Structure 1
Amino acid sequence: MKKLFLLLMFVISNVPAAEPVILVLGDSLSAAYGIERSRGWVALLQDRLQQAGYPHRVVNASISGDTTAGGLSRLPQALEQFQPDILIIELGGNDGLRGLGNDQTRDHLDQMITLARAAHSRPLLLGMMLPPNFGKTFTEKFLQIYRDLAEQRRVPLVPFFLEGVADRPDWMQGDGIHPNAAGQPLMLEHVWAQLQPLLDEEMAGGMGSAHSPTILK
């Protein structure tokens, strides 16, 4: 029996652990709209992880045109299927463009954070800013959704995902909304600045970054 026990322990200890998963739940900005998927920031993230020696696999569950309502409806199944260690939420832009209401957008994002944590997944929130033609007051209130939510729920935040990209016409597609391939590396840098501390905490076995906000200025 002792030999059998030792044999079983040897087999169990040599079963390769499942790759930790980073799930990206987003819209066209993460679905590589209008460019080759391999040149989108999500694909670049997988390359960066490998180069930096992290074992994580990136799953891109982004759909062009998606809203926070759509993301919320898809999230439970995605969490069950992929069991991600980290959930990157990049949604809300289409809510604002369609005038769906700030309260609704905030509520949906809040529910996604709750679902993620209930599934032992650490959320990372990517904030969006609407085009200036929507008016200063409206755009500021929309941006504040992400800041308030990150502070209240203590979630790491990239306040404006397209910082330094949206104001570069040569980095944007003809519609003025979607970045081209040239803008994707900077988008990745914004995400990486907030994602890497979560990765390092995870690798060290800690959970501190999941509960303390880190905001990119």
Structure 2
Amino acid sequence: MIRHIINIILLFIFIFAGLLASCSDDTKLPALSKDATILAFGDSLTYGTGTSSNNAYPAALQRLLQRTVINAGIPGEISSKGLARLPALIEKYQPALIIICHGGNDILRKLNLSETSDNIQRMIDLAKSNNSAVILIGVPQFGLFFNSAAFYEELAEKNNIPISNDILGDIISNNSLKSDRIHPNSQGYQLLAEDISSLLQRHGAIPGR
């Protein structure tokens, strides 16, 4: 009897998890025109530390999408500095889409992650106030399993925006895909770009291939 009850509970858990996943997958992005500008915003993971500028993920993504992708990554930047920097970039480029991959240096420096979450929320608000679509890239906490910090998924759900929450953890946990302890190599950045491209396809921003 107890086993039967446990099986029923597990079934409801799986169904609920599936519903959450389908809700996330149902988030639609505006289609990106061929002349759309995409702003890749972040720190060293966006800048491309560990490889050349031509092999950083924004350059790789530009080749995949055949659309302009601006590399707006600054190594070592914490989220509060990024928040202060973002408005001028939005005004300059008027991006149709902003890819936010920020907060890694906050995590490394053990800053207050509730403040990091607030800063990234304000980045999302800035993007939306400019009618820019947004996607999030979750940054891993460097531990046994390289799971992304929980606030990334929470922000994605709260704002109903797509997120790639596992790819960086998968890359950083694989020695053949990274240039040092925390940065991908050229192959790792290529995989990140491919994952973002796939995410954009799934959510309707670009046609499927």
Please say whether Structure 1 and Structure 2 have the same fold, judged by a TM-score greater than 0.5.
yes
User: Residue type of the partner of 2:206?
Assistant: D
* Structure 1 position 34, deviation (Å): 2.5
Aligned to 1:186: 191
Instruction: Please show how residues 23-172 of structure 1 align to structure 2 within 5 Å.
Output: 23-50=39-66, 56-132=67-143, 143-172=149-178
- The question of whether the paired residues in 2 share the 8 Å contact of 1:75 and 1:112 is answered with yes
Q: In 2, Cα distance between the equivalents of 1:104 and 1:96?
A: 11
Q: Mark the CA change 1:81 to 1:172 in structure 2 (over 3 Å): closer, same or farther.
A: same
Describe the SS at the equivalent of 2:155. Answer: helix
State the SS of the aligned residue for 1:199: coil
1:76-109 per-position Cα deviation (integer Å, ceiling 9, x unaligned):
1111100000000010111111011111011001
Q: Distance in 2 between matches of 1:107 and 1:93?
A: 14
Larger radius of gyration between Structure 1 and Structure 2: 1
Corresponding residue number in structure 1 for 2:3: none
| CA RMSD across the alignment | 2.1
Structure 2 gap ranges (5+)? 1-32
Shift of 1:122: 0.6
CA distance in 1, matches of 2:34, 2:142: 41
Moved over 4 A (4+): none
* Kept after mapping to 2: 8 A contact 1:125/1:156: yes
2:190 and 2:69 map into 1 onto residues whose CA distance is 16
Superposed CA deviations along residues 121-167 of structure 1, whole A, max 9, x for unmatched, are 0111100111116xx8xx76x62100111111111111134142112
| CA shift digits 1:34-61 (9 cap, x unpaired) | 21111111111111112xxxxx311111
TM-score (norm: length of structure 1): 0.74
Mapped partners of 2:116, 2:95: distance in 1: 23
Q: Number of residue pairs matched?
A: 174
8 Å contact kept, 1:143–1:159: no
Q: Distance in 2 between matches of 1:39 and 1:172?
A: 13
Whole-Å separation in 2 of the counterparts to 1:161 and 1:94: 18
SS at 1:65 equivalent: coil
2:35 aligned partner: 19
Please tell me whether the aligned partners of residues 64 and 194 of structure 2 are also in contact (alpha carbons under 8 angstroms). Answer: no
Q: Give the superposition deviation at 1:74.
A: 0.7
| Structure 1: gaps of 5 or more residues | 1-16, 51-55, 202-217
- Compared CA separation, residues 162 and 30, structure 1 to 2 (3 A): same
Mapped partners of 2:204, 2:92: distance in 1: 22
- Residue type of the alignment partner of 2:192: M
Question: TM-score scaled by structure 2?
Answer: 0.77
Aligned: 1:195 with 2:204: no
The question of whether the paired residues in 2 share the 8 Å contact of 1:22 and 1:88 is answered with: yes
Relative contact order higher in (CA < 8 Å, ≥ 6 apart): 2
What secondary structure is seen at the aligned counterpart in 1 of 2:91? Answer: helix
Give, in angstroms, the shift of residue 198 of structure 1.
Answer: 4.5
Query: What is residue 25 of structure 2 aligned with on the other side?
Result: none
